[in-house]
Amino acid sequence: MSRIQPPPGGDTTGEMPLDAAPVVVESSDGVAVITLNRPAKRNAVTLAMWGALAERVGELAADPEVRVLVIRGAGDHFCAGADISELTNGPGGEYARINWAAEEAIAAFPGPTIAEIRGNCIGGGVSIATACDLRFAAEGSTFGITPAKLGIVYPTNALERTVRLIGGSATKHLMFSGDLIDHARALRIGLVDEVVPAGDLAARVEGFVATLLERSHLTQVATKAMVHEVITDGRVKPATTMKWESAMDQSGEVREGVAAFLAKRAVRWPWRRG
């Protein structure tokens, strides 16, 4: 049975029921899926949705049974950005605090996170996607970082992540101009990790998630923590190295991995976070 269920309607382009919440969470067999659910507005994110994202992701991060998080949009688009109607007084103050908290919650999720992108991924949609570890996009997807069209100074947390991901020059090109780019250029500059035919996106993400669940969660969580330190500090701190080496030694992960390999059987990873 599929761990990642498409939105009601039989495929990933179907719409959620009209009475469904604008942020929908489904969790099963170690995988959580968050769906931004305003398809009529191309899943533009309201302040209430930013708050719900922060809360829901925090809850999932606290659940040791959730190993992988997938974020997607209902209907034909990932996310067209923040709801502009709420930004008439600018994106500062309480709005900025809640927006920041949502993106940081995604970035801080301890296990692998994947943005499943189709259609528009603009503005705040890009900041959600770049807060994820990996980005899988459908052919025909469109990307843009558009604060220059509104006179907005981009939040520094999202700016820093973008620069780390695609470099200073590509970031400036997108943000100076506010121009939209296609999936091919997004792949070329490193904004996305894979591009697949639109009809294959859901299956590709599901297949990759299945692979992640077969691998050591300890390896994944430790790798994510250490890569973050390399990106932010230029190296892995000695205390972090000791922490994860100790977890490896005490968990029995290596013993189980080697035993399963030699016996040609499915591995039963013993380590659980939390």
Whole-model pTM: value is 0.92
13 pLDDT tier (thresholds 50, 70, 90) = very low
| pLDDT reported for residue 94 | 85
Output the six-digit token pair for 251: 């968990």
Q: Of 113, 117, 121, 122, whose CA–CA distance to 138 is shortest? A: 117
Query: Over the stretch 71-94, which tens digit does the pLDDT of each residue have?
Result: 999 999 999 998 888 776 666 688
Query: Is residue 11's pLDDT more than 50?
Result: no
Domain boundaries, the chain: 23-213, 216-263
Query: Over the stretch 119-150, which tens digit does the pLDDT of each residue have?
Result: 999 999 999 999 999 999 999 999 999 999 98
| pLDDT reported for residue 12 | 44
Q: Of 68, 62, 55, 58, whose CA–CA distance to 27 is shortest? A: 68
Output the six-digit token pair for 14: 């179907």
State the Cα–Cα distance between residues 170 and 222, nearest whole angstrom: 30
| pLDDT reported for residue 10 | 37
| pLDDT reported for residue 4 | 65
Q: What is the mean pLDDT of residues 225-254?
A: 96
Query: Over the stretch 23-58, which tens digit does the pLDDT of each residue have?
Result: 999 999 999 999 999 999 999 999 999 999 999 999
Domain formed by 23-213, architecture: Alpha-Beta Complex (3.90)
